Structure 1
Amino acid sequence: MPASTVSFVSIVMPALNEERYIADAIASILPSTSAFDYELLVMDGGSTDGTGRIVREIAAQNPRVKLIRNPRRTQSAAMNIAAEICDPRTTVLLRADCHALYPRRFVENCVETLAATQSASVVVSMRAIGRTPVQSAIAAAQNSRVGNGGSRHRRASESGYVEHGHHAAFDRPMFRALGGYDESAPFNEDAEFDARLIQAGGRIYLDGRSTIDYYPRASFVSLAKQYYRHGWGRANTLAKHGMRPKLRQVLPVAVLLASLLGLAAWPFIGPIALLPPAAYLSICVAWSAVLAARAGQPALLLAGPAAITMHMSWAVGFLSRFLDLGSARQLRVRNEEA
């Protein structure tokens, strides 16, 4: 995509009950350049808080900001609807999150990188931050290798071509040609899209200049739900495309299964059976204690429980989807044999 063809950018921000974050997110992402025109489409999935009012107030000051109803509610649907109804001049779609703060010239950098690298997609790294002690502990877990397993886009990374990252900019014609996000799979839509993009010969470029600040879930309950969905979605994507899981994706499942086997064996072989779960818990607790001591922040003692919540919820979600797919496959075989 030559830079000269980038004349209009549609920034798409899926939203659902984001009154605490959306004003700051919009303020941080709005471009200041005159090199291209833009619109910001807030795709509201049915908010019942003050999200709509806040967006309408911003739109009254900046008519490029538009509040649009997303009747299908999901983030995947938000992007797909926006790709169809956006300004016809749009050559670049840019996905934005309400739970994020964007660095200066974020949109401009993404557009320039998309053109300079002739890529179909530009992705970025993300750094979790917190407003409360619990959210800060969860952020510390997500920023660490203990929590993220070394995922490249979860840490500051050098620029280069990758297989996956935190979605930012898309070549709109390519996004539409691939059918956009798969709305039949409610989770992990970004990695699933990346798999199809690479299979189609497209390239994904990680722009190391454009790390965003991301606000994670602020409670352990919401964190557990989120990571259950992450695990479910990853299993679904791997099965759909016949992909092998990476080591960091296998480890949480292995720890969960080893812990369950240990608990089951305890009545028969005694306390030795509890060594696997005890070792895992000790590592997470010791890591969070060191983290809290180094930072001088006692609240970071909760980073260990946050990491455990992330790992175990992800593993349960992964196994749940894996077992569902196995059961469905067996049912199909029986029906074919009948």
Structure 2
Amino acid sequence: MNHPYPPGRPAHPPCSRTPERPRQHARPGPAARARRFIPRPSWTVYAMVFVLLGGILFVQAYANGSFIPDYRAENTFGSGQDDVPDEILEGGPIVNTTADRPQSYRLPARTIALTFDDGPDPVWTPAVLEVLDKHQVPGTFFVLGNQVVRSPDLVRELAEKGHELGVHTFTHPHLTQIPGWQRRMEYTQTQLVIAGATGQRSNLLRFPYSSRADAFVDQDWPLLQQAGELGYLSVVNDLDSRDWERQGTEGMIERTIPEGYSGAVTLWHDSGGDRSQTVEALDRYIPMMKDRGYTFTTISEGLNRALAEAGATGTTAGPTEATFTERWRGQMLIMAVRAADGTFVLFGVLFVLVGTLTIGRTVLLFVLARRHARKRRRRGFAWGPPVTDPVSVIVPAYNEKEGIAEAVRSLATGDHPGGIEVVVVDDGSTDGTADIAAGLGLPNVRVVRKPNGGKPSALNTGVALARHDLIVMVDGDTVFEPDAIRRLVQPFGDPQVGAVAGNVKVGNRRSMIAKWQHIEYVIGFNLDRRLYETLRCMPTIPGAIGAFRREALEYAGGMTDETLAEDTDVTMALGRAGWKVVYEENARAWTEAPTSFGQLWKQRYRWSYGTMQAMWKHRRSVLDKGASGRFSRRCLAFLTLFGVLLPLTAPVIDLLAIYGLIFLNRTETALAWSAMLGLQFLTAIVAFRLDKEKLGVLWVLPLQQFVYRQLMYLVLLQSVVTALTGGRLGWQKLKRTGLAPGGPAGPPPPVPAPAAATARRVRP
């Protein structure tokens, strides 16, 4: 609602430079507004989102949970070999427990099988493969499922080049320390991802931390039996290069030379660390053994050759074709783990982003907010000559019976020397709000009744009826301190100041929710306002306590209903027009904070969504020149980074903290989270000191991180969803109980106004 300049008033305020009138964007028509809708919060959707994120993190944790690259010692759990058949202990490295009678096999003489564990690795497996291709020898790769999902193309290349694949479990656990069902899952998942990557199945299995056949102990025998029941041939080794020790190529070669001309299964690694020595040793070892008359083969080919020489039948080895279902399930598993990996990488990036934004914001707050405070406390500081002009206070009210009496009384009895008029605009209340205000009988209070039209309409009506040029806007549930109005208007001694934000205090601090909001008001609002004033990019004059020049209001186009945050909208318009918007910390007003999560959600939903609307409305002004562009680039950048992006990504800190406490190093995780909490404590202490508040309430700050911050995250998420639909809301009236300090718990009963004092009724 735009108001023309009253007769005799200058077209521009008496500033040192001419303000720039912000562009007014066309409002959507009634039909377009009618088509908009507000999606209601869906806890089912939110629960599904968190279950999905939890599932992704669990998959990622499982895929990495137990594998520590082969620096562990061999599995030495248990002792005794009474249960292990002699055929196994005295036999070869290939163990067959698929039949009733266990059997073991050795490779034929002058035959070597090169076997590689713990891969594939995107760096070292190709290097090993290059050496094998160079000397035209095959290898047998016992792969880990969690490595296959990260390099499926590499596994496919191994199979296509004729190398053999075997199962080495999914996460490399000590199999004797996990239950049978989990061992089956380790084998099955690895088998599936091999099928998904290559279309093949393998019946070869190597236990993590295994060595030779004569090293099996009683605890290993159930593992061998279970492997046979599942159709696997268990493979150990004859000779171990111990390349994981990385003590030089000579030792590796020496340890893998068979005695005489016997055949041997040799153990190497193509993953788990720096394998440069392994690659160098293989490049020397293979031609040396060929010169000695050895041939190289895979495990399956060597076994089949040994069986043929012995005239045995019935047992064969080698890859088989996987079924369509196995291939499909394997591909889905690969996609799931890779998606989990990608999500975790994204979370890592967000973690760095959140940390950077948090630290950056903290540094800015410390530097600029403290500079602001020192400037105000400097001896002789003044905005200009004392402001004693009369003030009009506009109180838009809609069903405010619980607090309207105390609010109006605190305003009307303020100590401002120039005089105060209070205009209560009742916007179609149905609870007797107007009668209560009129019944107070205060001579400087006028009550105006109008049909319900929304808060901006009520404010514009009050401004149009106000008699004075200094306008204070107040919520109907806010109680002012006696000197609040006088202090609030003093910055108007500077002719460039167009609006002033006051200091909003939470009056009802008894409940935990209210304490959290008290902390938020002091840190998130009042401390930020010091920063915004210093940078000349104040985004919001709070509806609870704010003052305006009439000229500035009219020049900005007055209050509009184009956004839910009319206070943010008009403040941005003032900033774009070149007016100074400042913060007066000593002008205090007390408001009642929501006392339930439902009411809090309702309030913050309106705030956050309205702010996004205002940002979208003024988005094009970042390209403006002059004051409009300077203000918009700063203001919208800060709101985007610290008002939207940081709150949306902040829960990553908590998610990764929970993940770290469960799956990673608990001490390091606790220290990292404590450091972030300590940074918030430091910010809180600075803010509370600047605001002259007691620090005792900060004991609830850690709890705030687990409950309150998550609720604010959901509110912001809901606001983003609503913003995408372009929805509109009404007053979003909150339930009040009259708990603001300075008066009774509730308002006095309605007092009918005498005929002579009946409030004048006007239409908007």
Question: TM tier, shorter chain?
Answer: 0.7 to 0.9
Distance 1:217 1:207, change over 3 A: same
Separation (CA, whole Å) in 2 of partners of 1:63 and 1:160: 42
The one-letter code matched in structure 2 to 1:164 is P
Deviations 1:44-71 (A, max 9, x none): 122222422320211x2x1221121243
1:21 partnered with 2:396: no
Cα distance, 1:43 vs structure 2 = 1.3
Q: Secondary structure at the match of 1:208?
A: strand
Distance 1:190 1:71, change over 3 A: same
Separation (CA, whole Å) in 2 of partners of 1:158 and 1:116: 14
RMSD of aligned C-alpha atoms? 4.0
> Paired residue for 1:76?
456
Separation (CA, whole Å) in 2 of partners of 1:312 and 1:44: 33
Separation (CA, whole Å) in 2 of partners of 1:8 and 1:116: 16
The percent of aligned pairs where both chains have the same amino acid is 21
Distance 1:56 1:149, change over 3 A: closer
1:64 partnered with 2:444: yes
Would the aligned equivalents of 1:160 and 1:205 in 2 still touch at CA under 8 Å? no
Would the aligned equivalents of 2:398 and 2:427 in 1 still touch at CA under 8 Å? yes
Cα distance, 1:302 vs structure 2 = 7.5
> Paired residue for 1:254?
649
Separation (CA, whole Å) in 1 of partners of 2:418 and 2:571: 26
1:179 partnered with 2:581: no
Distance 1:304 1:38, change over 3 A: same
Q: Secondary structure at the match of 1:246?
A: helix
Distance 1:5 1:209, change over 3 A: closer
Deviations 1:189-220 (A, max 9, x none): 11111111111111112112213222111221
1:166 partnered with 2:525: no
Q: Secondary structure at the match of 2:585?
A: coil
Distance 1:156 1:132, change over 3 A: farther
Q: Secondary structure at the match of 2:405?
A: helix
Q: Secondary structure at the match of 2:472?
A: strand
Between 1 and 2, higher relative CO (CA 8 Å, sep ≥ 6) is seen in 1
Deviations 1:161-185 (A, max 9, x none): 6513434111112212221112122
Separation (CA, whole Å) in 1 of partners of 2:455 and 2:576: 23
Q: Secondary structure at the match of 2:587?
A: coil
1:241 pairs with one of 610, 618, 623: 618
> Paired residue for 1:121?
499
1:51 pairs with one of 419, 433, 446: 433
> Paired residue for 1:152?
528
The one-letter code matched in structure 2 to 1:27 is R
Separation (CA, whole Å) in 2 of partners of 1:236 and 1:296: 33
The one-letter code matched in structure 1 to 2:647 is P
Deviations 1:99-121 (A, max 9, x none): 32222321122222212454111
> Paired residue for 2:597?
220
Separation (CA, whole Å) in 1 of partners of 2:392 and 2:705: 37
1:101 pairs with one of 470, 476, 479: 479
> Paired residue for 1:40?
422
Separation (CA, whole Å) in 2 of partners of 1:10 and 1:235: 30
1:206 pairs with one of 580, 583, 600: 583
Q: Secondary structure at the match of 1:195?
A: helix
> Paired residue for 2:571?
194
Cα distance, 1:251 vs structure 2 = 2.0
Would the aligned equivalents of 1:44 and 1:73 in 2 still touch at CA under 8 Å? no
The one-letter code matched in structure 2 to 1:77 is S
Cα distance, 1:230 vs structure 2 = 1.5
Would the aligned equivalents of 1:149 and 1:248 in 2 still touch at CA under 8 Å? no
Equivalence map 1:258-337=2 (5 Å):
295=697, 305-321=707-723, 323-324=724-725
1:133 pairs with one of 511, 527, 530: 511
Higher mean C-alpha deviation, range 175-184 or range 305-314:
305-314
- Give 1 or 2 for the bigger CA radius of gyration: 2
Could you tell me which runs of 5 or more consecutive residues in structure 2 were left unpaired when the two chains were aligned. Answer: 1-13, 15-383, 620-635, 657-661, 664-669, 685-694, 727-764
Q: Secondary structure at the match of 1:184?
A: coil
The one-letter code matched in structure 1 to 2:541 is H
Higher mean C-alpha deviation, range 311-320 or range 125-134:
125-134
Distance 1:160 1:115, change over 3 A: farther
Cα distance, 1:241 vs structure 2 = 1.2
Higher mean C-alpha deviation, range 229-238 or range 24-33:
24-33
Would the aligned equivalents of 1:92 and 1:171 in 2 still touch at CA under 8 Å? yes
Q: Secondary structure at the match of 2:586?
A: coil
> Paired residue for 2:394?
12
Cα distance, 1:31 vs structure 2 = 4.7
Distance 1:296 1:310, change over 3 A: closer
Cα distance, 1:42 vs structure 2 = 1.1
TM-score scaled by length of structure 1: 0.72
TM-score scaled by length of structure 2: 0.34
Would the aligned equivalents of 1:125 and 1:165 in 2 still touch at CA under 8 Å? no
Separation (CA, whole Å) in 2 of partners of 1:37 and 1:150: 28
Cα distance, 1:314 vs structure 2 = 2.5
The one-letter code matched in structure 2 to 1:127 is K
Would the aligned equivalents of 2:411 and 2:422 in 1 still touch at CA under 8 Å? no
How many residue pairs are counted as aligned between the two chains?
Answer: 297
More helix by share: 1
Cα distance, 1:227 vs structure 2 = 1.2
